[in-house]
Chain A
Amino acid sequence: MVELTINGITVKAGEGMTILDAAKSVGINIPTLCHMKNLTPTGACRMCVVEVDGYRNLIPSCAYPVDEGMNVETNSPRVRTARKTIVELLVENHPQECLICVRNKNCELQDLAERYSVREHRFAGESKSHAIDISSASMERDPAKCILCGRCVRACNEVQKIGAIDFSNRGFASTVTTPFNIGLNVSDCILCGQCILVCPTAALREKSSLKAVTNAMNNKNKYVVVQVAPAVRATLGEEYHMPAGTDVTGKLVSGLRRLGFKKVFDTNFAADLTIMEEATELVQRITEGREMPMFTSCCPGWVKYIEMNHPDMLHHVSSCKSPHEMEGAIIKSFYAKKMGLAPEDIFVVSIMPCTVKKFESERPELSSDMLHDVDAVLTTRELVRFFNIAGIDFNELPDDKFDNPLGESTGAAAIFGTSGGVMEAALRTAYSLLTGKSSDHVEFEQVRGFDGVKESELNIDGTTLRIAVVNGIGNFPTLLNSMKEGREYHFVEVMACPGGCINGGGQPIHQNYEKVVKRVKALYDIDRRSESRNSHENKAVSALYEEFLEKPGSHVAHELLHTHYFDRKDKNRKIAVEE
């Protein structure tokens, strides 16, 4: 422990602690831009500078450790002037278009300009101009709005370990870009959107599908239906000043109805359906002695990753479509027939916590008869914008229920939104498939939590099932290594975002990881409250099999609910160098 003084307050801090953290521990907030908790400090933005006795220059507190007897001043006139100048310089080299910016009122640069009362343009000069990269189906990259804090670079390199973007060039010409400035669509990017979550401005943002949705709703010939992913109901409330982890399912449904969607369905229904298909596939693979392990296929970021990096392992990936694609396929076949609707007149909108789902919904193989299973994907953030345009006061909405039959779900489906959830749901059903009896043991603690790789062994009636859960794509290399070392697994769940969909790239933007923990708890609470907690007990799903799909893994089911994957390694990578 060392003792130092910050703004006249005596502070006891652990050795190696940064001045920033020490100050925070006594309630002194120092502004930051480039700082990221638990990741390499870069000291790039200098927002966090403080004055320290005996030091000639101002010190970046995010990267400087405390020392015995230090006397720190975080709010001296010199510090305030330095910080304000930094903000002024950043603002001056930033497009002056806050009013029409997607991050208006949710922008850290804007907040700092406000906090330091930047009221004039002091440094008129050359400002950078860059083309916006709109090449990918999920995301846009607008380097003109980039303030070079490097948070996206660290999220991509250190957390996700993808390394699709990095700094390039030097000085005024510096940008964060893909190698050779190619489009994100042909880069190594898996479109997970973790960079969007950490971007302080709108330099990285989702590609909006709001227009496509409103156009469809304005078209009288279209029957526009919507489905909502499990993770959205546990995060949407944050955008309306509710505490993190508030379950807003009821309000969400009535809000969507007020927006004018003809039917409001639950992706959880299809999550139960996915489990039926996936658990059946797993049991088949085990009993037929096929190559192990089987990987989950719900996460399109993970699917894109393995297609791009390990195409030799594609046969390990479950052939099941992801839940919202299954739901779309069922809506356009079973439901259309039942309601007497033409599939081409139905427009399926998915509300997803995810940016990659946009890319996924455009995959040509996820369609039948040239009709995409899902026509448009909106992220949680876009849904908020939609509610705002429609003048919906979310907090005042009454609770409502999903439309049936594609709205019924079990607790197993709810936990799809968190790391380990798909595994847990599958285990519950696989248990019953393997033993033929229903399990009273439904909670599998060993697959929950935030560890990078969660491994476990289960004994089901004499069959030992070795499982692993990869929490965040950055941890996949760890699993791959232990596989190379000879460890064998039967079933592996991978979710690209740390924490799972609950922390997906389409979720409300925040810089507080504790929120993620609360969001996860909300999903487990929904599960615990559920009447039924096993996917195979979903009555609507059983009815669907009886009426239409025959049985899990049947020919019809394969036609509608299963897909195939492509080798994307070194494909379409012809690169034009920009001069």
Chain B
Amino acid sequence: MENTLFSKYPRNDQSILIPLLQDIQSEYGYLPEDVLKQASEYIGLPLSRIYGVATFYNQFRLVPIGKNVIKVCRGTACHVKNSANILAALENTLKISAGQTTRDKVFTLEVVSCIGACSIAPVICVNDEYYGRLAIKDIDKIIKRYKNKSTEQPAAQEVEK
């Protein structure tokens, strides 16, 4: 069965690849392999080429995303204000490395170059909420807050295969 996401795009038009990938990602939260295979047949591009594009751009992800996305700013101002240790503390608390998602799919930890909030460095951003002038001791509290919120609702569903 053909994915309904494709229907607004013409068949065999290679130029639609990136908008289509963006649509897939906003639908599923990541680029599921099965959907990429369907896309490959729809556009008429080899899967290897699509994989190449998907791995080239930072915006695309190939693994499911957590319910909460934590972005740690590693820009210059934040770096001067100890963001390296903030990142390390987050990694320790969540027991994952930057770029990974916790096993319960509650948190995804990401590193960004500059979040544009240098005046309140060091800063992290959880979903769309900013936490500035952060100290390592604040981290546990923040994590707990989102963890509690998440357990109230079911965690993000995996894409049906």
Contact = CB atoms under 8 A, between A and B. Distances in A.
A163 B49 contact: yes
B51 A180 contact: yes
Contacts of B33: 180, 575, 577
A162 B49 CA distance: 11
A312 interface: no
Interface in B28-60: 33, 36, 45-52, 55-56
B103 to A, nearest CB: 13
Interface residues of B, number: 15
A577 B100 CA distance: 13
A188 B47 contact: yes
Contact size range, A:
10 to 19
Contacts of A177: 48, 51
Interface of B, secondary structure class, is helix
B48 A166 contact: yes
Interface in A154-168: 157, 162-168
A168 B54 CA distance: 8
Contact of A168 (B36, B46, B52, B100): B52
Contacts of A514: none
Nearest to B46: A163
B46 A162 contact: yes
A169 interface: yes
Contacts of B100: 579
Given A575-B33, A577-B63, A579-B100, A179 B56 contact: no
Interface in B95-114: 100
A178 interface: yes
Contacts of A170: 55-56
A203 to B, nearest CB: 16
A179 B47 CA distance: 6
Contacts of A179: 36, 46-48, 50-51
Contacts of B136: none
Interface in A215-246: none
A164 B52 contact: no
B142 interface: no
Interface string A161-201: 01111111110000001111000000110000000000000
B62 interface: yes
Contacts of A166: 46, 48-49, 51-52
Contacts of B63: 577, 579
A167 B52 contact: yes
B48 A178 contact: yes
Contacts of B50: 179
A180 B62 contact: yes
A169 B47 contact: no
B46, B48, B51, B100 — most chain A CB neighbours (10 Å)? B48
Nearest to A175: B55
Contact of B55 (A168, A178, A575): A168
A169 B48 contact: no
A168, A179, A187, A579 — most chain B CB neighbours (10 Å)? A179
A504 B55 CA distance: 32
A399 to B, nearest CB: 47
Contacts of B55: 168-170
Interface in A504-518: none
B55, B63, B100 — most chain A CB neighbours (10 Å)? B55
B50 to A, nearest CB: 7
B83 to A, nearest CB: 22
B65 to A, nearest CB: 14
Interface string A433-477: 000000000000000000000000000000000000000000000
Given A168-B55, A179-B36, A180-B33, 10 more contacts: A164-B48, A166-B48, A167-B56, A168-B48, A168-B56, A177-B48, A177-B51, A179-B51, A180-B51, A579-B63
In the A-B complex, the 9 residue pairs with the closest CB atoms: A163-B46, A166-B48, A179-B51, A179-B47, A168-B55, A166-B52, A169-B55, A179-B48, A168-B52
Interface of B: 33, 36, 45-52, 55-56, 62-63, 100
8 contacts: A163-B48, A166-B48, A168-B52, A168-B56, A170-B55, A188-B46, A188-B47, A577-B33
